[in-house]
Structure 1
């Protein structure tokens, strides 16, 4: 019986290790430290990281029909290590949207324009769109019939062939749910240029959904900021500086404000 030499055994072990690393892919990479500096932001209670999409643009976790507006799901929570400095010590590689909660019913989070149709690419949250396309899509949404009585396009991004829209949908009129309850959700819609005009795709991507009393909903500020979306984490430390929006003055960020 032939006995493999030490050199042959070593080569076999190396080959097995290489195959294992290829199978594991990004999961085998070292996690990174991510530091979020919030400067003079006041009343922060949570800094979370949400790895919302897989590489194909599908939600990694189904939308929770029982989600609470004041207790959002996150994949990781940062630890406060200094005055308004929050740290994720070992965040696995991937793309994340950051979510920040603060006192007095403030929620701010990032997003990416995930693919609506199969095989389409992601679009970054800071993607822009031409004015004529924006005007048409805004008017089209305004003139369409919806179950919700408030359907608001918050942000748009794309090119001459495809435009994606982050949309806020609210129904605060009486429903068959619990008396006094309202519904709110956010979706990504897509408009495609076909035959000389913009047409809305029937398929959408739902980001979240909450059910709560309308009297409570009207007291919330839930905003979206491109600076907090699509944060790429690899194996090197990441530092992020961010300031929460002021409650008074110009409403630079789009989303829900008390009404």
Structure 2
């Protein structure tokens, strides 16, 4: 029988481990918030200037945080997945995830100049799978159409940006060649759910766009504020990016055959999607 002293020692070790993990999570959060606004060129310069892959940046509270770039790159995908899994439909969550996705874009672009980052983000099979899982889980929650999960109007732009940037990330982590993207995604064991979620999320954004256009048409041109016009333009850009991704992906025979074979989409889903494409073409032409 274990002694009370041994039990106390084990409990202390567990608490220490949990505290360490909590500190690591806080470090990751601080790093995402501190680095997301930097371009890959700026990140490259910071790494080059550090000489040891340890970056330093000041938090909003004025604290100086040290970041091990290699460790950060290895843990960032799993960290963002944990944020998605603990999903809270608040503006702060949307913004934080968008910051994380944009930072992944910059770090993947950085990989061509930093071999160690390339080895972690693009060559490590486990991390690559985590990146695809991240996009998958994020699209699932963004595509949710349950009543309590509707996106408030003030987060429409964040929603559309997350959808577009997440889809675009696949061409960064897999390949800029659509045939290769289709091959990898077709081999992905959740591809059917993935495609359904992607189509649904994009259609949802285009429906947001339709609502905005309807509201604008109800107003006289003199009442349209620069802010509303800017919002509409940004929303159009994000929808265009997402539609181009799906259109290019579905042009690949391998993926089309998989969709048809497994009957991924219902007839209503297909009809809705192509109706949105037609609507979007009309909108872009009008703008």
Confirm or deny a common fold (TM above 0.5).
Answer: no
Normalized against structure 2, the TM-score is what? Answer: 0.29
**Richer in helix (by share):** 2
Greater strand share, structure number: 1
Q: TM-score, normalised by structure 1?
A: 0.31
Instruction: Name the structure, 1 or 2, with higher relative contact order (CA <8 Å, separation 6+).
Output: 1
